């Protein structure tokens, strides 16, 4: 029987940003002055291209089977989902369009993570501070929450909005694990007692990176210090407990930590085959 262990977690915000290359500066300023009803009228009959990672089948169905029909029925807006494999390709496309002064690019909205948000923001690829123009943002989002104000430590400044929130959890086999670990210290103890039955995806995999961040936060006293400016030497000093933890469990991981699954999907297959007891 599979059960979810939700004690070890990171809340992961899924983010949409509006791309700046698809509008001229004049149009941008004009829309920023418009009220919401006026914006809806102007959007009627238009097509919006949303570029997003295409590897999540349930999310794809949600966009295609529910969001798109609702937009068409309620607002006469056609939503065109454009699947991508790597967001960096999308960023490179936008950079190229910006370099040649192309203001009518093909990307209107994209699903983005913290790293790519910072790259886009630093390179002037985003439309601007649009969040407070959205009624649902004002109605449902806690603007003062730190996971809204910051994305990977970068101030969002209203340039992106959340469209979902998920929780990082570990799934375990309750027939083999009677007392699952409840924190990183207990997980380390469990890994040492159950050699070869735990591993995590190698970064830059999204899930593997999230696991490492959770270890960082627990082992170094929380995430708050990482919201402040920090140089490389300061980070190396602060992160020392993280590397100590990962190196301590490494010999007890699947294949003695000499190799790691490349993705969460491959980790799931190891779990399904009984090679590891958590995923």
CATH for 126 = 3.40.190
Q: Quickly state the pLDDT bin for 56 (edges 50, 70, 90).
A: confident
Q: What is the pLDDT of residues 145-200, one digit of tens each?
A: 988 999 888 999 999 999 888 788 889 999 999 999 999 999 999 999 999 999 99
Comparing CA positions, the residue from 197, 223, 198 lying closest to residue 210 is: 223
Query: Which residue range is the domain that position 199 belongs to?
Result: 179-272
Checking if the pLDDT of 279 tops 60, the result is: yes
Do 124 and 183 sit in the same domain of this protein? no
Confirm whether 173 is domain-assigned: no
Comparing CA positions, the residue from 216, 155, 151 lying closest to residue 13 is: 151
| Percent of the chain scoring above 90 in pLDDT | 61
Q: What is the pLDDT of residues 74-92, one digit of tens each?
A: 999 999 999 998 888 888 8
Confirm whether 6 is domain-assigned: no
Confirm whether 279 is domain-assigned: no
Checking if the pLDDT of 272 tops 90, the result is: yes
Confirm whether 109 is domain-assigned: yes
Handedness of CA 114, 115, 121, 122 (dihedral sign): positive
Confirm whether 172 is domain-assigned: no
Do 16 and 153 sit in the same domain of this protein? yes
SS3 169: coil
Checking if the pLDDT of 6 tops 70, the result is: no
Count of structural domains, the chain? 2
Expressed in angstroms, the distance from the first to the final Cα of the chain is: 13
> How far is residue 24's CA from residue 104's CA, in Å, rounded to a whole number?
8
Residue 143 CB coordination number (10 Å): 12
> How far is residue 105's CA from residue 148's CA, in Å, rounded to a whole number?
27
Do 106 and 185 sit in the same domain of this protein? no
Is-contact 210 168, C-beta < 8 A?
A: yes
Q: What is the pLDDT of residues 32-54, one digit of tens each?
A: 888 999 999 999 999 999 999 88
State the average pLDDT for the chain: 88
Checking if the pLDDT of 115 tops 50, the result is: yes
Q: What own/partner pairs with CB < 8 Å and gap ≥ 24 does 36-39 have?
A: 36/133, 36/134, 36/135, 39/133
Say which residues have a Cβ less than 8 Å from residue 279's Cβ, sequence separation at least 6.
170, 171, 264, 267, 268, 270, 271
């Amino acid at each position: 029987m599979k059960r979810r262990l939700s004690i070890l977690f990171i809340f992961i915000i899924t983010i949409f940003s509006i791309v700046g290359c698809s509008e001229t500066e004049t149009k941008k300023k004009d829309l920023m002055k418009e009220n919401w009803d006026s914006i809806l009228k102007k959007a009627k009959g238009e097509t919006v291209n949303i570029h997003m990672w295409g590897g999540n089948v349930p999310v794809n169905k949600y966009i295609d089977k529910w969001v798109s029909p609702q937009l068409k029925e309620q607002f006469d807006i056609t939503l065109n989902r454009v699947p991508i494999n790597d967001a960096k390709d999308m960023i490179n496309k936008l950079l190229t369009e910006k370099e040649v002064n192309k203001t009518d690019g093909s990307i209107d909205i994209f699903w983005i993570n913290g790293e790519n948000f910072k790259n886009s923001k630093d390179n002037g690829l985003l439309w601007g501070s649009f969040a407070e123009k959205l009624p649902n943002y004002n109605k449902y989002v806690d603007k003062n929450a730190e996971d809204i104000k910051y994305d990977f430590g970068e101030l969002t400044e209203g340039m992106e909005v959340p469209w979902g929130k998920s929780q990082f959890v570990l799934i375990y086999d309750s027939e083999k694990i009677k007392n699952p670990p409840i924190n990183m210290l207990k997980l380390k103890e469990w890994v040492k007692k159950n050699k070869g039955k735990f591993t995590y995806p190698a970064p830059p995999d999204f899930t593997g990176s999230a696991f490492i961040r959770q270890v960082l936060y627990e082992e170094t006293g929380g995430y708050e210090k990482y919201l402040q400016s920090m140089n490389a030497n300061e980070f190396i000093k602060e992160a020392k407990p993280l590397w100590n933890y990962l190196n301590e469990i490494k010999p007890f991981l699947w294949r003695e930590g000499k190799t790691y699954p490349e993705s969460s999907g491959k980790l799931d297959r190891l779990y399904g085959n009984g090679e590891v007891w958590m995923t």
